[in-house]
């Protein structure tokens, strides 16, 4: 069950953890489509949003300097999950997101910005 633990302190100059030799788990990576292209397509679709516009350049570069930590987002998702379950609401999507944030935290991305989830799904190769 989701917990309400304390989040870690912000580091001064975080370094993005790398997971060597992991093939891309993303569809984009498997198809070889440039990140910029995916960003442009999503930005011109119903997926467009303020946060995408604000973070797209950093996402393309795998720049996940702290903004809103993965660990904090996971904690908040856990609180939302508990509340939703307490009133009998459907929670399948929130639970999957909470699990994904847990994987990112366990992989060492907890003090990265929430966009650090991209680092879990699609490790940077330094080639893009």
Q: Render each residue's pLDDT in the chain as its tens digit; 128 residues.
A: 555 555 544 444 344 444 433 444 567 777 787 877 877 777 777 777 776 777 677 666 666 566 778 899 899 999 999 999 999 999 999 999 999 999 989 988 888 877 777 777 776 555 44
- The answer to whether 111 and 8 have CB atoms below 8 angstroms apart is yes
Alpha carbons within 13 A on the beta-carbon side of 110: 16
Q: Are residues 54 and 113 in the same domain?
A: no
Q: Are residues 53 and 68 in the same domain?
A: no
Q: Are residues 75 and 116 in the same domain?
A: yes
Q: Containing domain of residue 86, as a range?
A: 64-128
For position 34, what pLDDT does the model report?
Answer: 81
Is residue 4 domain-resident?
no
Extract the tokens encoding 27.
């569809």
Is residue 15 domain-resident?
no
Is residue 1 domain-resident?
no
Q: Are residues 53 and 76 in the same domain?
A: no
Distance CA(11)–CA(111), nearest Å, equals: 8
Q: Are residues 32 and 47 in the same domain?
A: yes
> Of 98, 56, 103, nearest to 80 (Cα)?
98
Q: Are residues 127 and 78 in the same domain?
A: yes
Q: Are residues 56 and 68 in the same domain?
A: no
Between CA 127 and CA 75, with CA 43 as vertex, the angle to 5 degrees is: 80
Q: Are residues 113 and 84 in the same domain?
A: yes
**Domains contained in the chain, number:** 2
Is residue 14 domain-resident?
no
pTM: 0.52
Alpha carbons within 13 A on the beta-carbon side of 32: 0
Distance CA(82)–CA(10), nearest Å, equals: 26
Distance CA(84)–CA(72), nearest Å, equals: 18
Displacement of CA 49 from its chain's centroid (Å): 16
Q: Are residues 41 and 69 in the same domain?
A: no
Q: Report the CATH number that the domain containing residue 87 is assigned in CATH.
A: 1.10.1040.10
> Of 64, 34, 84, nearest to 97 (Cα)?
84
């Amino acid at each position: 069950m989701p917990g309400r633990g304390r989040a870690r302190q912000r580091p001064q100059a975080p370094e993005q953890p790398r997971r060597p030799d992991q093939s891309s788990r993303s569809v984009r990576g498997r198809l070889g489509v440039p990140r910029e292209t995916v960003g442009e397509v999503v930005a011109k679709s119903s997926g467009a949003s303020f946060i995408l516009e604000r973070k797209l350049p950093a996402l393309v570069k795998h720049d996940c300097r702290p903004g809103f930590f993965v660990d904090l987002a996971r904690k908040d998702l856990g609180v939302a999950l508990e509340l939703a379950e307490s009133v009998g609401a459907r929670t399948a999507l929130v639970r999957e997101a909470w699990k994904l944030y847990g994987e990112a935290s366990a992989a060492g991305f907890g003090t990265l910005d929430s966009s650090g989830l991209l680092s879990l799904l699609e490790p940077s190769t330094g080639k893009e």
